[in-house]
Structure 1
């Protein structure tokens, strides 16, 4: 005769419940095992090209190596050649300045768009969100080609519209890529237009999480809009602003497609940044080792800047 299993006596009320033991062995390793496929994909997609670039930067890799398959090690010669090049410092300063202008414009316009979306009604907010997502979804190569058509001399729509306003004279023959400042302005408008949707939607998500009670208390105290933004909104958005700033710096520092399609680094290499310089070193000068060295230097600069910013952001978060 099979006996029914005995029921465990319930713990008396108020008695301390012993803590559950953490799983050992396979239980602890399960989260890491689940991360293995994603880590393998990232290693193949990102890790292998990065390692390959580092290896090429230490080699005398050119057309001879491509045709013969014989590769000789150059050591630090490629890095010395790149760092001693007279173009290195101007290109680096130009890259940093252009990146700072892109990040500042993206954050200011994105924050303004997020604040505007917070004050819109549901229907209008949905329409603005769809427009932002549509602009964000366009590939940068396609948008660069459309931008090139919009600002094209003679047939460009933007030149025609500016001419019709009679404020700037006849601009139908205006070549925006013919001067340094107008070429940078052309690329700046395009990159900011592509980057604002991500920043605006991310900051709006952060704004929606701020408790309304803080704003109600500020209104009862008679605080103005500037004071409310400085005391309530900005402190709550500081971690999100730090995140989008780091991502914007990484993305804008590596802008290549827009610059290459619209200006090709001209006129007279005045819009050449580190990504453009790396590309021309590798494919125009047929010195893949030097081009790889420029790419590695760019990665190291980004890693250093990101590490300093993240460390500062973590410290500011601990002080709050």
Structure 2
């Protein structure tokens, strides 16, 4: 009679004893959780953007399709006008001059801001720590000045009879007696005065942003270019500019947006005059809506301006994304 020997089995321990073995997370669940995190983090900002920007924009588009005038403010009734407001805007004799003036003025502002901002950034990189800190402090102080306060200060500086700028120019004896000169009497001098103010307000942000980019360029690249016999301008062209291309596109895009929407400086300094010579699309939309009491046409001009700026920004964003991918 044979005896079967039974071997004792090891007692289950740990997770096996409790029946909880290692769980395997499915690949689909692993893929869903990280993808949902960015959308979850962006959701609050998206909600605020829709409420703050989305509703006014939709309301603006609706007003542009209605005959919304002074009577509508009291009665609350605005008849449907269809594309009549847009037709009136496109047939207006002011449309082409406004478009040309806005484009040239925006180009002059953005170009000067980028050139002067880049020069300030390169200057800060070459200065010592104390002088660089003083320069950054001065730029931040100018940038932090409220828009309205800076514009009123500019009005005092260029004021006839008592203006500091007129007095200083008169003391140089280069342009004759300018103490009674009115800068707002002509469109050219009025736009020049606004151009100086907007550039002065915009340069600090661009300069500090570009300095942050310039300070991140590795010094080895400059040393290698210098060993190859490259001068300062060539080092700037082959080293600095390629590294700063994404940052340059970013500040250029933001400068175009800001300069396209300049209103306070123009309205407080020249009120769009003389004879509309300093008006841009933004000022034209305001005067058409509130001076002519034609809110529908004012809204139509604002919608066209927004569409034009959106197309331009789409082009800039594509360039910026491609520049970032090329690094």
Scaled by the length of structure 2, the TM-score of the pair is 0.89
* Separation (CA, whole Å) in 1 of partners of 2:26 and 2:243: 37
Moved more, 162-171 or 83-92: 162-171
Partner residue of 1:293 out of 284, 296, 300:
300
| Residues 161-217 of structure 1: per-residue CA shift (max 9 Å, x gap) | 111222221111011111111101100000000000111011100001100111111
Partner residue of 1:282 out of 282, 289, 292:
289
| Residues 206-250 of structure 1: per-residue CA shift (max 9 Å, x gap) | 001100111111222221101101110111111111111111111
Equivalent residues of 2:245, 2:323 under 8 A apart: no
Partner residue of 1:233? 240
Equivalent residues of 2:67, 2:78 under 8 A apart: yes
Partner residue of 1:86 out of 84, 93, 109:
93
Partner residue of 2:310 out of 287, 303, 315:
303
| Displacement after TM superposition at 1:62 (Å) | 0.7
* Separation (CA, whole Å) in 1 of partners of 2:259 and 2:34: 42
Alignment of 1:1-320 (within 5 A): 5=14, 23=30, 28-318=35-325
| Displacement after TM superposition at 1:23 (Å) | 3.7
Aligned residues: 308
* Separation (CA, whole Å) in 1 of partners of 2:13 and 2:171: 93
SS in 1 for 2:82: coil
Moved more, 32-41 or 160-169: 32-41
* Separation (CA, whole Å) in 2 of partners of 1:197 and 1:98: 20
* CA 1:142–1:307: 2 relative to 1, 3 Å: same
Q: Which structure would you say has the larger Rg?
A: 2
* CA 1:233–1:30: 2 relative to 1, 3 Å: closer
SS in 1 for 2:116: helix
Scaled by the length of structure 1, the TM-score of the pair is 0.91
| Displacement after TM superposition at 1:317 (Å) | 4.9
* Separation (CA, whole Å) in 1 of partners of 2:234 and 2:31: 53
SS in 2 for 1:73: coil
| Displacement after TM superposition at 1:138 (Å) | 1.1
| Residues 12-55 of structure 1: per-residue CA shift (max 9 Å, x gap) | xxxxxx99956466665344333222222222211111111111
Gaps of 5+ in 2: 1-11, 17-23
| Displacement after TM superposition at 1:295 (Å) | 0.3
* Separation (CA, whole Å) in 2 of partners of 1:234 and 1:138: 30
* CA 1:19–1:123: 2 relative to 1, 3 Å: farther
In angstroms, what is the RMSD of aligned CA positions?
Answer: 2.1
| Residues 131-169 of structure 1: per-residue CA shift (max 9 Å, x gap) | 111111112111111100111000111111111222221
* Separation (CA, whole Å) in 1 of partners of 2:112 and 2:60: 32
